[in-house]
Amino acid sequence: MDKTGIEKMLRPKSVAVIGASATPGKIGYTVIKNLLKDGYKGKIYPINQKESEILGLKCYPEIGQVPGEIDSAVMCVPAKVMAEVVEECGRKGVKGALVITSGFSEIGRKDLEDEVVRIARHYGMRILGPNIVGTLSNSEKFNGSFAPCLPLPGKNSLVTQSGALLIAMDMATYSRRIGYEKMISIGNMADVDFADLIEWFQDDEETSCVSLYIEGLRDGRRFIDVAKKSNKPIIALKSGVSAHGAAAAASHTGSLAGGAKVYSAAFKQAGVIQATDLDNLFYRGLTLSMQPPMKGDNFLIITNGGGNGVLATDAAERFGIPLKFAPDDVQAEMKKHMPEYGSAKNPVDMTGMAGNDWYYETVKFAIMNKWTDSVVVLYCETAITDPAEIAASIKRAVDDSGVKDKPITVSFVGGEKSDKAIGWMVENGIPAFFAPDTAVNAMAALREYAKLQENKKSDGAKTDEKAKKLALEVIAAARADGRTSLTEIEAKKVFELYGMPTTKIGLAKTEEEAVKLSKEIGYPIVMKIVSPDILHKSDAGGVKVNIKTEAEAREAYNTILKNAKAYKADANIHGIAVQEMAPWGTEVILGSVSDPSFGPTVMFGLGGIFVEVLKDVTFRVTPVSKAEAEEMVSEIRGAPILSGVRGEAPRDRKAIIETIIKYSSMIYDLMDEIAESDANPVLVYAQGEGLRVADARIILKKK
């Protein structure tokens, strides 16, 4: 991907403001004012057909008349003239445009947007937006927006799909003392999207963490590919995760908000850390931009208050980094800096007697010793200490330790002095917060980042060409028959082609065939109606189980046919499936959907009530790697059931993992054909005994 256009729009040496205005309060006026006020050093060319000068700058009636080169244009003209103006910019050789103007796809005028992009592409020009606030960059002193001012400087950069949020967060950087290097409003993403900007940020030395506010992604697969390669942490807040929220987001940006679970899965696969709310995006982003990843699970909590220590310990468990007792040698050292009634176990409670020196010694040792991978320092403001001095001691301990690859986060609970000390620490590169939970949550983000980095090495897609060819033949036959769903027999055939063991099954069109098949398969057997018009077979009385004899087989065959006709007189009945009655096993479910943002996506969970009532399922975007399949099996809440509970033998985990991978290949290979599918139940046997797909369903995409 050519980054020139993005480079020109984010680091322009010269910028034209098209639709610049001399009328205070108008956006075209505000952009010029902001560029001047915030100290932009490049050349500014206001373009206005009537004015000769705006805010002391010479105006040009059209961009073509500006002498010399122009890197970027900020568009503040109405949507109806945008195509014309973009054409003029293209002819002038402008390589990037920030299109502030609204009135495009977000109100159903995708045609206008497409036209603008078509013209821009013709000239090799990139478009940010439309429907944006603009962009802000501290290092460039560039405020090409109608946001009031540049944010407080930081090493973190934000890309947001909501312009209003950019303005609000811009202001909040000052009250929260959490700064940003760049803030980019991405709007309708007609051209430049999240993936493009993540790619561009790789070489931006001013940015050490990329924060995203996402309402919906269009090309989720490219997002995953690009984010996976990122050399910087990426943190994303995805809105629209509730059903109601999704509807709001969809109407806001015109983009599709995919399922929350699919987004979470995709973020994991892409190595993207997820923020749970706006606060979280702020402080996790700050921490990721300042501190190295937490490479192992061992960390020490150092405190002068027992209550704070307990709160932090609880938070550690909640946020996935449970605390361990410190080894004896660490405890022995810690004991040197606390009264007898202190505790060195972890949390290291130095008690309210702790002063500057104890904080210094303890923090320094904690960072330097081999056992610890990170340190969370807590402080409660007391009358015998000065928060500023404690903060200085912590900073000195970090500096004197000389250790650069172990992260630290801090919590200061107290009044104004503590608040000031927090600000001072943040300015000096130590993420510091009020609540102990926040300090722990921030540390958990650094642990998540380290783990995600390890997991990013996926083994990718391997198409099974032979299986694919034969499966496509089965699908083509069903389509030729005018169907958009496969029968169970056909679906199982496709599963078998991809190497997934299914229960034996055959189609009987007469009572005699049913008897013959039953004998071949072996009693006990199951019989099921096969009809594209009857999807809920049990409801129609179309299933009989545990058929043990020929007489029972004859009776079942006739009863099912009778029930089916009674259920739907004109149902197209293909016959009756005669199926092996597989021995009982633990029921699991595999499913797939074609996600609007990420495409073919698979689901795994325990079957029965676990899926129906508890919705205990997990997703991954295909292709699923072995490590990801293992994660899927481990991360469902019911995972212990598969490990064997109440004296039961553990289930065949290896077989489940292999099956998830095979299922993922099937869904990936057949993504143009399969809309949805499931294998439910899959019966899983004891370790070494494998599993069997007992029922399978494949719904085809409408063509």
Q: Which residues of the shown chain bind ligand COA in the complex (CB under 6 A)?
A: 18-19, 21-23, 26-28, 47-51, 76-78, 81, 85, 100-103, 131-133, 163-164
Q: Tell the smallest beta-carbon distance from residue 235 to ligand COA (Å).
A: 22
Q: Tell the smallest beta-carbon distance from residue 283 to ligand COA (Å).
A: 25
Q: Tell the smallest beta-carbon distance from residue 619 to ligand COA (Å).
A: 31
Q: Tell the smallest beta-carbon distance from residue 104 to ligand COA (Å).
A: 9
Percent helix, strand, coil in the chain, to 5, is 40, 20, 40
* Dihedral angle, C-alpha 188, 192, 195, 196, nearest 10 °: -160
Q: Tell the smallest beta-carbon distance from residue 94 to ligand COA (Å).
A: 14
Phi, psi (degrees; rounded to nearest 5) at 245: -60, -40
Q: Which is nearer to ligand COA, 192 or 452 (CB)?
A: 192
Q: Tell the smallest beta-carbon distance from residue 26 to ligand COA (Å).
A: 4
What is the DSSP track for 213-262? Answer: EES--S-HHHHHHHHHT-SS-EEEEE---SHHHHHHHHHHHS-----HHH
Phi, psi (degrees; rounded to nearest 5) at 413: -100, 120
Which residues are CB-contacts of 373 (< 8 A; sequence separation ≥ 6)? 294, 295, 296, 297, 298, 299, 406
**Residues 434 and 362 sit within 8 Å (Cβ to Cβ):** no
Give the residue from 475, 459, 458 showing the smallest Cα distance to 467: 475
Q: Which is nearer to ligand COA, 29 or 433 (CB)?
A: 29
Contacts 24+ apart (CB under 8 A), 670-673: 670/468, 670/471, 670/472, 670/475, 670/494, 671/594, 671/599, 671/600, 671/622, 672/701, 673/472, 673/475, 673/700, 673/701
Q: Which is nearer to ligand COA, 130 or 607 (CB)?
A: 130
Q: Which is nearer to ligand COA, 103 or 292 (CB)?
A: 103
Q: What one-character DSSP code corresponds to residue 502?
A: B
What's the token pair of residue 615?
A: 């919705």
Q: Which is nearer to ligand COA, 15 or 226 (CB)?
A: 15
Cα(637)–Cα(633) distance, integer angstroms: 10
Cα(629)–Cα(636) distance, integer angstroms: 12
Q: Which is nearer to ligand COA, 85 or 694 (CB)?
A: 85
CA distances from 690 to 210, 482, 618, 685 (A): 44, 36, 21, 6
Q: Which is nearer to ligand COA, 77 or 553 (CB)?
A: 77
Q: Which is nearer to ligand COA, 53 or 357 (CB)?
A: 53
What's the token pair of residue 289?
A: 């931009």
Q: Tell the smallest beta-carbon distance from residue 119 to ligand COA (Å).
A: 14
Q: Which is nearer to ligand COA, 96 or 187 (CB)?
A: 187
**Residues 508 and 576 sit within 8 Å (Cβ to Cβ):** yes
**Residues 659 and 684 sit within 8 Å (Cβ to Cβ):** no
Cα(123)–Cα(111) distance, integer angstroms: 19
Give the residue from 186, 97, 183 showing the smallest Cα distance to 140: 183
Q: Tell the smallest beta-carbon distance from residue 81 to ligand COA (Å).
A: 4
605 bridge partner residues: 589, 617
Q: Which residue in this structure is represented by tokens 């289930």? A: 651
Strands 43-47 and 53-54: unpaired
- Greatest alpha-carbon pair distance for the chain in Å reads 100
Q: Which is nearer to ligand COA, 145 or 622 (CB)?
A: 145
Q: Tell the smallest beta-carbon distance from residue 90 to ligand COA (Å).
A: 14
Q: Which is nearer to ligand COA, 23 or 251 (CB)?
A: 23
**Residues 5 and 94 sit within 8 Å (Cβ to Cβ):** no
Q: What angle do CA 76, 79, 80 make, to 5 degrees?
A: 125
Q: Tell the smallest beta-carbon distance from residue 182 to ligand COA (Å).
A: 17
Cα(372)–Cα(48) distance, integer angstroms: 62
Q: What one-character DSSP code corresponds to residue 316?
A: H
Q: Which is nearer to ligand COA, 147 or 397 (CB)?
A: 147
Q: Computed over its alpha carbons, how large is the radius of gyration of the chain?
A: 31
Determine the residue type at 559.
T
Q: Tell the smallest beta-carbon distance from residue 573 to ligand COA (Å).
A: 57
Q: Tell the smallest beta-carbon distance from residue 641 to ligand COA (Å).
A: 48
Q: Which is nearer to ligand COA, 22 or 353 (CB)?
A: 22
Give the residue from 268, 343, 309, 356 showing the smallest Cα distance to 627: 268
Q: Which residue in this structure is represented by tokens 């009572």? A: 511
Q: Tell the smallest beta-carbon distance from residue 84 to ligand COA (Å).
A: 6
Q: Tell the smallest beta-carbon distance from residue 158 to ligand COA (Å).
A: 14
Q: Which is nearer to ligand COA, 76 or 636 (CB)?
A: 76
Q: Which is nearer to ligand COA, 49 or 251 (CB)?
A: 49
CA distances from 687 to 17, 315, 607 (A): 68, 36, 18
Q: Tell the smallest beta-carbon distance from residue 476 to ligand COA (Å).
A: 48
Q: Tell the smallest beta-carbon distance from residue 16 to ligand COA (Å).
A: 10
Q: Which is nearer to ligand COA, 22 or 241 (CB)?
A: 22
**Residues 323 and 346 sit within 8 Å (Cβ to Cβ):** yes
Q: Which is nearer to ligand COA, 19 or 585 (CB)?
A: 19
What residue is closest to ligand COA based on CB?
163
Cα(184)–Cα(9) distance, integer angstroms: 11
Q: Tell the smallest beta-carbon distance from residue 163 to ligand COA (Å).
A: 2
Cα(503)–Cα(524) distance, integer angstroms: 12
